[in-house]
Structure 1
């Protein structure tokens, strides 16, 4: 029989996430998280096994929150019809998901904006957690392919890469928030996404 959990896992992840959102990965030590959560270091090792697994679970939770919002926004736009404009709106909405996450879960948003997973996590995650992270990557790729097919009629490497530039590459630097800006970052992001998509849009037949 498994030993009972002494502390709520979400509360422990919240404490770790707040530390990571405010600094870098080195700030997230088992001791620092335990102190912030009012728990013992032993309870964290009991819950997660290692610091690396704690960071992996933290990342997975933040990414799942993000993906849930992104899917909802994309499907809402695509439900309006199959015209190019609806697919373009869906891609803009997907790009702005980080802004939406900033409103509902600001620490999760900061983690995803400021920390790349491959730089944060070390090798040697438990197989089950590694499988969950890979499955999440597959789900995100599914969103990119859906957008590419809606925009361009195909989800080949070129069209998926075009959507990935809009949805993955552009949002973090514009929505980071550490630099004061005179323009609205969300408006700038939306305009940039529309510009990339329209530059990649095939010319109408016979044009």
Structure 2
């Protein structure tokens, strides 16, 4: 059986992404993907090998594209000015709303489905390596933002950045990104975006906790 072409694989992943975002991972099967995509069960298994591998690809692609956009938004406002760090953190925090404009199904998937819920306890090696690489990218971005804000990237500073770019956007945007869609697309309103930016700026205006003992403020290393 011939392996589907690259653009066919992307289309399969698009359909899988939508099905998981709509019905959750517990209702997703190879059969449901075959019916929705018009691709046979055999061709799907030939392309991905197993359902866990395919779900790993779905998640890794969505998360990787989101990180690409988040980095793009940070780069667009990054400079040496005193407000650069704040602008960069606000830009990173806004990424889920911007991502929803560009990739609605992927945004709904990332906001509405936990990675562990989708992939389960036994992650295939191929998926585990991809996820590890994504985790390293996330940490690198958090560290970069912390250094841009305070010239340090120790535990307390990275935790504050994480609050701003992970916890607050999840709390503010989740309802709109996981609720009923308009014309099949989730919409994050201007009011929510403005309130998130205000909340992030308020958090960043507070004094930063001191570095952990044994860490240097400049390097964040032991």
Normalization by structure 2: what TM-score? 0.83
- Contact 2:156-2:208 within 8 A present in 1 as well: no
Relative to structure 2, which stretch is displaced further, 10-19 or 23-32? 23-32
Q: CA separation of 1:102/1:127 partners in 2, compared to 1, >3 Å: closer, same or farther?
A: same
d(CA) in 2 for partners of 1:169, 1:91: 13
Report the equivalent of 1:198: 205
Q: Any unmatched runs of 5+ in structure 1?
A: 203-207
Compute the displacement of 1:69 (Å).
Answer: 0.7
Compute the displacement of 1:48 (Å).
Answer: 1.4
SS of 1:123 mapped into structure 2: coil
| 1:129-144 mapped onto 2 (5 Å cutoff) | 129-144=127-142
Q: CA separation of 1:78/1:5 partners in 2, compared to 1, >3 Å: closer, same or farther?
A: same
d(CA) in 1 for partners of 2:171, 2:17: 20
Report the equivalent of 2:57: 57
Of 90, 93, 100, the residue aligned with 1:92 is 90
Compute the displacement of 1:167 (Å).
Answer: 0.7
- Contact 1:114-1:172 within 8 A present in 2 as well: no
Of 148, 155, 158, the residue aligned with 2:156 is 158
Of 185, 191, 211, the residue aligned with 1:184 is 191
Report the equivalent of 2:99: 101
Report the equivalent of 1:205: none
d(CA) in 1 for partners of 2:188, 2:99: 20
Report the equivalent of 2:19: 19
Number of aligned residue pairs: 199
- Contact 2:17-2:109 within 8 A present in 1 as well: yes
Compute the displacement of 1:53 (Å).
Answer: 1.4
- Contact 2:85-2:145 within 8 A present in 1 as well: yes
d(CA) in 1 for partners of 2:109, 2:201: 26
Q: Any unmatched runs of 5+ in structure 2?
A: 181-186, 210-222
Q: RMSD across aligned C-alpha pairs, in angstroms?
A: 2.2
- Contact 1:82-1:150 within 8 A present in 2 as well: no
